[in-house]
Amino acid sequence: MGSDLRDIPEEWPVTGTTVPFTGKVTGVRTDEVVMPDGSTARRDYQTHPGSVAVLALDDEQHVVLVRQYRHPVRQRLWEIPAGLLDVPGEHPLRAAQRELYEEAHCKADDWRVLVDLYTSPGGCDEAVRIFLARGVSPVEGERFEVAQEEADMELGRVPLVELTRGVLSGELHNTCLVAGVLAVNAALNGDGLDALRPAEAPWPARPYQA
């Protein structure tokens, strides 16, 4: 398929929109969408500000992880540090650096874009950018104060090879963890981590000012 193997922007006509629910961060929107055959169909979906996540890989090929309770799925999941793009005007890289500090009390010297994804494009407009962080080290001083689910959060560092086995065996399920682990393995077995996009690479799904 060559250069045609890419997602392209497209927008079908919308004849009407309602917003039946607006929450603190996300909401629900209902659009009346004109189909290619001229009919109209109702599409309900969750609106979302977007997210960033960080696969922090240390010099021993261990990945920095957090584990916390996720109520919708009734499970305690191993995850990579992640958070919402809920600060107006915040650069995605700055948001990722903030999340690594707040959740894992770490910083990193080298940042790259690992992978961009839509978490559930059939029912939600959430876009996520996953960064690769290397040169990982602890942050000095007291850890950022956490609350609610994050107050019960566990921290860990797990070998990448062990995480890969966990993903492929169906033991690990978090979207960003699964995508990040598989993407970093693909990069390591392909052109290498230094060939990844720079941290400032454009992000059409959530445009920002560099």
Cα dihedral sign, 130-135-138-139: negative
Report residue 70 as tokens: 């996720």
Residue 150 annotated among the catalytic residues of the structure: yes
Residue 63 CA from chain centroid, whole number: 16
Residue 169 tokens, joined: 């065996």
Which entry of 32, 90, 102, 150 is annotated as an active-site residue?
Answer: 150
Neighbours of 42 (CB within 10 A): 10
The catalytic residue positions are 150
